[in-house]
């Protein structure tokens, strides 16, 4: 039986995203996060904790989002903070994330530090009343993940994680195509 295949190019064209780069992959969940944080406010005031590779990538991307204002940057490594500060010269710079969390005007934080630090920083952020977007993986162990989830439920604060494929229209569309029998 002859099987009809669609080409990769055609597949991407069907999604309406042919020719776009990797930046698209990060956009849906970052945008969704800023949308849900906004409660009657015009802009989400965001602090970025961990301004290394991922933190700078997000910073560059979020600067294009009119609903987000990056007001604070934090890192313990000088080169990381210097590079991020070039992107957002107006942001206040911290070397201790706890000091950043003391700023009551900050609505949410994006945690892009190494995995072994996620749990402590996220729990402290919840304690400080911040909405949290934490890079993958969520925690170092299942126990940490459960505790973070429980704290999110107790506080009612938003918790988003950087599992971008859950929110990327390309993957959502691909799943639809699989379930509808196209593949
Ligand atoms: N969603 C994705 O596709 C994706 C892609 C790459 C990385 N990540 C995740 O992003 C996170 C960061 O990865 P990366 O590649 O940017 O690492 P990186 O090493 O480039 O950046 C991490 C930064 O965090 C800083 N840092 C460490 N401890 C800190 C602390 N206590 N307070 C403040 N800053 C601190 C480091 O100095 C460094 O600048 C990891 O959890 C990684 O798994 C996700």
Q: How many CB atoms lie within 10 A of CB 138?
A: 20
Taking each helix axis from N to C end, the angle separating 53-62 and 78-87, rounded to the nearest 10 degrees, works out to 10
Q: How far is the CA of 14 from the centre of ligand 1 (A)?
A: 34
Question: Residue 74 CA: which ligand 1 atom is closest?
Answer: 33
The helix (H) or strand (E) run that includes residue 133 is strand 131-134
Q: How far is the CA of 46 from the centre of ligand 1 (A)?
A: 17
For residue 141, what pLDDT is reported? 94
Q: How far is the CA of 68 from the centre of ligand 1 (A)?
A: 21
Among 106, 96, 99, 20, residue whose Cα is nearest residue 71: 106
Q: Whose CA is nearest to atom 6 of ligand 1?
A: 54
For residue 19, what pLDDT is reported? 43
For residue 172, what pLDDT is reported? 84
For the chain, domains (ranges, CATH) are 24-179 (3.40.50.720)
Question: Residue 77 CA: which ligand 1 atom is closest?
Answer: 37
What is the residue-level pLDDT of the chain in tens, covering all 183 positions? 555 666 666 655 554 444 444 344 445 667 667 766 766 678 889 999 999 999 999 999 899 888 899 999 999 999 999 999 999 999 999 999 999 999 999 999 999 999 999 999 999 999 999 999 999 999 999 999 999 999 999 999 989 888 777 777 788 889 899 999 998
Distances (CA, A) of 2 to 5, 90, 170: 10, 61, 27
Pocket of ligand 1 (CB under 6 A): 49-55, 74-77, 80, 97, 112-115, 117, 135-136, 162, 164
pTM over 0.75: yes
Among 56, 57, 96, residue whose Cα is nearest residue 79: 56
């Amino acid at each position: 039986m002859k099987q009809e295949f669609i080409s990769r190019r055609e597949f991407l064209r069907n999604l309406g995203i042919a020719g776009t780069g990797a930046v698209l992959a990060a956009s849906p969940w970052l945008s969704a996060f800023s949308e849900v944080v906004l409660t009657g406010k015009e802009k989400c005031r965001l602090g970025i904790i961990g301004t290394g590779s991922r933190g700078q990538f997000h910073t560059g991307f979020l600067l294009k989002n009119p609903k987000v204002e990056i007001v604070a940057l934090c890192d313990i490594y000088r080169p990381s903070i210097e590079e991020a500060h070039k992107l957002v010269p107006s942001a206040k710079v911290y070397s201790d994330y706890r000091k950043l969390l003391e700023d009551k005007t900050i609505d949410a934080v994006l945690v892009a530090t190494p995995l072994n630090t996620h749990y402590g920083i996220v729990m402290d952020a919840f304690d400080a009343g911040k909405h949290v977007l934490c890079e993958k993986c969520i925690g170092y162990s299942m126990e940490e993940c459960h505790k973070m989830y429980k704290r999110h439920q107790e506080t009612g604060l938003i918790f988003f994680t950087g599992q971008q494929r859950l929110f990327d229209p390309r993957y959502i569309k691909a799943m639809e195509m699989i379930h509808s029998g196209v593949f």
